[in-house]
Amino acid sequence: MAVPEKARMRVEALRRDIETHNYRYYVLDAPTIPDAEYDNLFQELTELEATYPELASPDSPTRHVGGVPLEDFPQVTHRTPMLSLNNAFTEEDVAGFDRRVREALGKNEVEYAVEPKFDGLAISLLYDRGRLAQGATRGDGYTGEDVTANLRTVRSIPLKLRGTHPPASVEVRGEIIMYKADFERMNARQRERGEKEFANPRNAAAGAIRQLDPKITAQRPLRFFAYGLGDPGGTSFDRHSEILDWIADQGLPVSSERSTARGSSGLLGFYRRMGEKRDKLPYAIDGVVYKVNSLADQRSLGFVSRAPRFALAHKYPPEEVLTEVLDIGVQVGRTGVLTPVARLKPVNVGGVTVTNATLHNEDEVRRKDVWRGDVVIVRRAGDVIPEVVSVAQPGPRAGSDRFEMPTRCPVCGSEVVRLEGEAAARCTGGLFCAAQRKQALLHFASRRAMDIDGLGEKLVDKLVDLGIVRTPADLYRLGVGVLAELERMGEKSAQNIVASIEKSKSPSLARFIFALGIPGVGEEVARILAKHFERLDKLLDADWAGIAERKKQIQKENAARKRRGEAPLPLVLEGIGPELIDSLKKFFSQEHNQEVIAQLTSGPHAVQVQVEKSRSAGAGRGFSGKTFVLTGTLPKMTREEAKELIERHGGKVAGSVSRQTDYVVAGDEAGSKLEKARGLGIAIVDEAGLRKMFEEAST
Ligand code: IVH
């Protein structure tokens, strides 16, 4: 059957479009169409290729899928060896490196290309006349394994280079990684299915690449970042930074964090800046890499044994370390949940001394099979609570070393229950339990709740232990005198605390709801509730059973409408499911909670909960539906505050810049998002500009 010209042209156009969208998504990190629309294009191309097999092409974007399983990986010899880097751990190491480079080159100052050091798996991609011909692991540096079939499934690796004049042949070097968020999602799925979890993104990525069945690799969310060339083929450059720019032009992802720096102070500045950003990057890095930028200088410096003299890896302290479990205790949380906690022999993890690590719940302790006396791997990533990843070496394991969930709360002695279908064991003591009371108070005062400055853990411990404060309402009756009498608290600090308590007295409804600490009600749910009820009294009078019933009816009606192809009715309290409604009903029907809310909102010390302005009636109508992206550190506002301000004016806040973005709010050290916004011609404002814009809109 002859292929109609129209189909041929459509296939070509679709391939071009999909490749462009892949490039925007993976390389520029600035998609211009929603995922669903991309899926439609992809589907259309897949169908056309199935209808007209004559149009098949090995570098069609539909070919990023797994082929037939392999028996074994054939060996490949790299055209140029894949060497390693010398490591530096201290500032002195870096100064020594820069000195040796300067002396060898006879220069006063040297320019370096600086990049993140990706924590993944090194690979080499061979492009012949612009087409992906082979992909290999590093192996021993000279011979690796041919994992082409697996690498072809990685969407961010183009099957065809974008450049119009591809070199006859070129080796691109880089790292296969997994984004932290993708890794978390994948592990959550593994956990749900009762399958083995991966220890970290690097192991998950390495395991996926060495899968004999490419179909399995295709299901793993792998990414690629290039950091250089092996055999440069027909290309020629003067600087390493030009190589990276060229690679990016070819449609391969290159880190947007790359930069150049001069002298060892420039290198250390980059190390510090990336160190501060490290936790916020979407991928794991274990250091930064410095490379002499001039390629002529690189050649004259040459290599010592297996590492270049012109490059250096400057490592960050590891985020995963080994240590011993001294004991396994439990911690009682705000809602009474008992969390098993490993008490550890103190270790430095990523620059912080860690003595406790969470084991999440009883099932996790069993699954990971952690006993007192075991040597375990402990991980800490950024601000998150350190956790026990796995057992590295079991200890002697006497019977008494096994963890047992206590049957009585270690704080208040109340019975501990574990409801069917729940992972958590709970203390039934409620606010009778001092641990729960303390946690509830800390949550109430926390920055995103009532934002009471200075009310920290130590003070709350004291106030609760001495019986001065029992409920959040008691906080508003605190006087300077009582506080100042507390051990180690001066008159001035006491005044400051009373002042910040005073300042917290007119919260938004959403903040107040969040502060109450209703099980399952986070900030997002609190916002939904505030928007729906608008006033606290209406929330308190809510007929939860009626709402649950109405939600059910609407859902039923919508299922019928869907079958008839009609538009659905809007849901009441969208995003709030039956369990949450149950939790809300329980919370607001408890006499104790009603009493605390009444105490909080009446009398001479009353908190004035603000009425939530509905969007349509609110200020700044002009911003409804506008998308804002925040980047960098704002001088006066936290991110949450900026988000709240924007939402109050009808706008919404997105995580990444795209053509859909209306405004980018840039603070100090704004990075790639700002550059992207400039590139796309999006309006950029600073904090003051943002405030002004909103003020003008509401007058
Ligand atoms: S350059 C001559 N740049 O680190 C060596 N390597 O010990 C050229 N790595 O496994 C390597 N990020 O895969 C270079 N930005 C980066 C890197 C990087 C990670 C890995 C590399 C290799 C190891 C080198």
Q: Give the number of residues written for the chain.
A: 699
Probe target for ligand 1 pocket from 227, 229, 259, with the most ligand atoms within 8 Å of CB = 227
Q: How confident is the model at residue 619 (pLDDT cuts 50, 70, 90)?
A: very low
- Index of the ligand 1 atom closest to the CA of residue 174: 13
Write the residue with the smallest CA distance to atom 10 of ligand 1.
122
Please count the other Cβ atoms lying within 10 Å of the Cβ belonging to residue 454: 15
Of the candidates 440, 411, 418, 389, the one whose C-alpha atom is nearest the C-alpha of residue 596 is: 440
> What average pLDDT does the segment 24-36 reach?
79
Write the residue with the smallest CA distance to atom 12 of ligand 1.
117
Q: How far, in Å, is the centroid of ligand 1 from the Cα of 184?
A: 25
Q: How far, in Å, is the centroid of ligand 1 from the Cα of 29?
A: 22
Residue 538 pLDDT: 93
Residue 476 pLDDT: 93
> What average pLDDT does the segment 647-675 reach?
85
Q: In this structure, what token pair is assigned to residue 620?
A: 């700044």
Residue 697 pLDDT: 65
Cβ(42)–Cβ(60) under 8 Å?
A: no
Whether the predicted pLDDT of 620 surpasses 60: no
Whether the predicted pLDDT of 274 surpasses 80: yes
- Which of 14-23, 157-166, 485-494 is predicted least confidently? 485-494
> Considering the chain, what percentage of its residues have pLDDT values greater than 70?
97
- Index of the ligand 1 atom closest to the CA of residue 115: 15
Name beta bridge partners: 379. Answer: 320, 387
Q: How far, in Å, is the centroid of ligand 1 from the Cα of 63?
A: 28
Residue 617 pLDDT: 39
Whether the predicted pLDDT of 93 surpasses 80: yes
Residue 694 pLDDT: 78
Name beta bridge partners: 176. Answer: 121, 224
Of the candidates 500, 504, 463, the one whose C-alpha atom is nearest the C-alpha of residue 485 is: 463
CA atoms within 13 A on the CB side of 365: 27
Q: Is 49 helix (H, G, I), strand (E, B) or coil?
A: helix
First to last CA, the chain: 68
- Index of the ligand 1 atom closest to the CA of residue 121: 13
pLDDT tens-digit series, residues 141-153: 899 999 999 999 9
Q: How far, in Å, is the centroid of ligand 1 from the Cα of 138?
A: 11
Cβ(101)–Cβ(95) under 8 Å?
A: no
> What average pLDDT does the segment 655-659 reach?
85
Probe target for ligand 1 pocket from 80, 172, 175, 244, with the most ligand atoms within 8 Å of CB = 175
Q: How far, in Å, is the centroid of ligand 1 from the Cα of 102?
A: 22
- Index of the ligand 1 atom closest to the CA of residue 288: 15
Whether the predicted pLDDT of 616 surpasses 50: no
- Which of 144-158, 194-208, 239-253, 604-618 is predicted least confidently? 604-618
> What average pLDDT does the segment 270-289 reach?
92
Q: Is 231 helix (H, G, I), strand (E, B) or coil?
A: coil
Q: How far, in Å, is the centroid of ligand 1 from the Cα of 301?
A: 18
Range 414-452 burial, b when 16+ CB lie within 10 A, else e: bebeeeeeeebbbbebbeebbbbbbbbbbbbbeebbbbb
Write the residue with the smallest CA distance to atom 17 of ligand 1.
117
pTM attached to this predicted model:
0.56
| Amino acid identity at 360 | H
Integer Cα distance of 474 and 464 in angstroms:
10
Integer Cα distance of 274 and 261 in angstroms:
13
Write the residue with the smallest CA distance to atom 24 of ligand 1.
84
- Index of the ligand 1 atom closest to the CA of residue 175: 13
Instruction: Give all domains of the chain, ordered by start, each with its CATH number.
Output: 5-63 (1.10.287.610), 76-315 (3.30.470.30), 320-401 (2.40.50.140), 430-613 (1.10.150.20), 627-698 (3.40.50.10190)
Residue 326 pLDDT: 97
Cα-flanking dihedrals φ and ψ of residue 683, to 5°? -60, 135
Q: How far, in Å, is the centroid of ligand 1 from the Cα of 47?
A: 40
Integer Cα distance of 359 and 373 in angstroms:
15
- Average pLDDT across the chain, whole number: 89
Q: How far, in Å, is the centroid of ligand 1 from the Cα of 84?
A: 7
Instruction: Please state, in angstroms and as integers, the Cα–Cα distance from residue 255 to each residue in 122, 206, 517, 687, following that order.
Output: 15, 20, 41, 28
Which residues belong to the active site? Answer: 117
Cβ(599)–Cβ(471) under 8 Å?
A: yes
> What average pLDDT does the segment 163-173 reach?
92
Integer Cα distance of 398 and 210 in angstroms:
39
Residue 683 pLDDT: 82
pLDDT tens-digit series, residues 511-536: 999 999 898 888 888 998 998 999 99
Integer Cα distance of 459 and 471 in angstroms:
14
* Cα Rg, the chain, nearest whole Å: 29
Write the residue with the smallest CA distance to atom 15 of ligand 1.
117
316, containing H or E segment? none
Residue 370 pLDDT: 96
Whether the predicted pLDDT of 615 surpasses 70: no
Write the residue with the smallest CA distance to atom 18 of ligand 1.
117
- Index of the ligand 1 atom closest to the CA of residue 84: 7
Q: Is 143 helix (H, G, I), strand (E, B) or coil?
A: strand
Q: How far, in Å, is the centroid of ligand 1 from the Cα of 634?
A: 34
Integer Cα distance of 125 and 117 in angstroms:
18
Cα-flanking dihedrals φ and ψ of residue 338, to 5°? -95, 115
- Index of the ligand 1 atom closest to the CA of residue 87: 7
Cβ(664)–Cβ(639) under 8 Å?
A: no
Pairwise pLDDT comparison (619 vs 465), residue with the higher score: 465
Ligand 1 pocket, Cβ-based, cut-off 6 angstroms = 83-85, 115, 117-118, 122, 175, 227-228, 289, 308, 311, 313
CA angle 326, 332, 336 (to 5 degrees): 150
Probe target for ligand 1 pocket from 87, 118, 303, 305, with the most ligand atoms within 8 Å of CB = 118
Whether the predicted pLDDT of 682 surpasses 90: no
DSSP 287: E
Integer Cα distance of 36 and 42 in angstroms:
10
Write the residue with the smallest CA distance to atom 21 of ligand 1.
122
Whether the predicted pLDDT of 382 surpasses 90: no
Q: How far, in Å, is the centroid of ligand 1 from the Cα of 116?
A: 9
Probe target for ligand 1 pocket from 84, 85, 231, 306, with the most ligand atoms within 8 Å of CB = 85
pLDDT tens-digit series, residues 548-566: 998 888 888 888 888 887 7
Write the residue with the smallest CA distance to atom 14 of ligand 1.
227
Residue 657 pLDDT: 87
Whether the predicted pLDDT of 201 surpasses 90: no
Write the residue with the smallest CA distance to atom 9 of ligand 1.
117
The burial class, CB within 10 Å (0-12 / 13-18 / 19+), for 696 is exposed
Write the residue with the smallest CA distance to atom 13 of ligand 1.
122
Residue 523 pLDDT: 85
Whether the predicted pLDDT of 181 surpasses 50: yes
Probe target for ligand 1 pocket from 289, 290, 299, with the most ligand atoms within 8 Å of CB = 289
Chain Cα centroid distance, residue 653 = 16
249, containing H or E segment? helix 240-249
